């Protein structure tokens, strides 16, 4: 099938070993040469946003991620190291959005993605609190999508085709809406986490 051309994506694909680890941490400016998805009516784009990758500290970057024709390919293994030597967290290869910390107002995240069919028990998207806690985690089991607490929200096969993915965060109420291919599958109400800065992450963790 034809690979979509909007940005950003997450898709796990075979990688070629490229030598010893040379970690990089500098945020990368968002590409401007790819075709972007049209914004929903009433929304504006955050300009000059940047992104960075978190990946196993002892891996060379190209062993765990690549950007090819506007498609971001990410992978991680269960026995990988964490993203920092001092971290006690599980291994990850994630895209972290900068310059768009969310406090008040509404923010929406648009992406097309597909997972490899052998992906199991990993977070593929998070809304994260800058105080160090995940607010929303979307995790895949048996090719289906679950939220924190193992609540099934998307029962269809995630590895069968590309999905159009949209998460909207309301900083005024801390509510969240999640749609797949334009259909609402999940919503939350006020949870009382006012004045916390949040940011988006997508990848495998």
pLDDT digits (tens, 9 = 90+) for 38-81: 777 778 777 777 888 899 999 888 889 888 887 889 999 999 99
Band of the pLDDT at 11, cuts 50, 70, 90? very low
Cα 142 to Cα 121: distance, rounded to the nearest angstrom: 8
Q: Count how many residues are written for the chain.
A: 205
pLDDT for the residue numbered 25: 52
Confidence label for 156 from pLDDT (cuts 50, 70 and 90): very high
Mean pLDDT of the chain: 79
| Interior/surface letters 90-118, b for 16+ CB within 10 angstroms, e for the rest | ebbbbbbbbeeebeeeebbbbbbbbbeee
Give me the half-sphere count of Cα atoms (radius 13 Å) on the Cβ side of residue 60. 9
- Read off the pLDDT of residues 69-121 as tens digits, 9 standing for 90 and up: 878 899 999 999 999 889 999 999 999 887 667 888 888 888 899 998 888 88
- Output the pLDDT for position 74: 92
Q: How many CB atoms lie within 10 A of CB 140?
A: 20
Q: Where are the beta strands (DSSP E) in 75-192?
A: 93-98, 106-113, 122-129, 133-141, 144-147, 151-154, 163-170, 175-180, 183-187
CA distance 137 to 122: 10
């Amino acid at each position: 099938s034809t690979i979509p051309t909007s940005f950003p994506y997450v898709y796990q694909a075979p990688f070629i070993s490229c030598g010893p680890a040379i970690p990089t941490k500098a945020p990368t400016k968002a590409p401007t040469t790819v075709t972007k998805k049209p914004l929903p009516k009433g929304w504006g784009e955050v300009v000059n946003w940047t992104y960075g990758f978190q990946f196993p500290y002892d891996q060379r970057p190209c062993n765990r991620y690549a950007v090819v024709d506007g498609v971001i390919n990410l992978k991680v293994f269960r026995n990988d190291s964490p993203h920092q030597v001092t971290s006690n967290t599980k291994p990850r290869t994630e895209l972290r959005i900068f310059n768009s910390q969310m406090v008040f107002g509404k923010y929406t995240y648009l992406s097309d993605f597909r997972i490899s069919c052998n992906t199991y028990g990993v977070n593929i998207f998070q809304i994260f609190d800058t105080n160090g806690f995940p607010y929303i985690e979307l995790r895949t089991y048996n090719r289906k999508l679950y939220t924190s607490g193992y609540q099934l929200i998307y029962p269809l096969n995630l590895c069968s085709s590309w999905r159009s993915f949209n998460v909207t965060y309301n900083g005024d109420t801390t509510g969240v809406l999640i749609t797949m291919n334009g259909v609402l599958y999940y919503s939350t109400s006020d949870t009382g986490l006012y004045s916390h800065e949040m940011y988006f992450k997508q990848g495998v963790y």
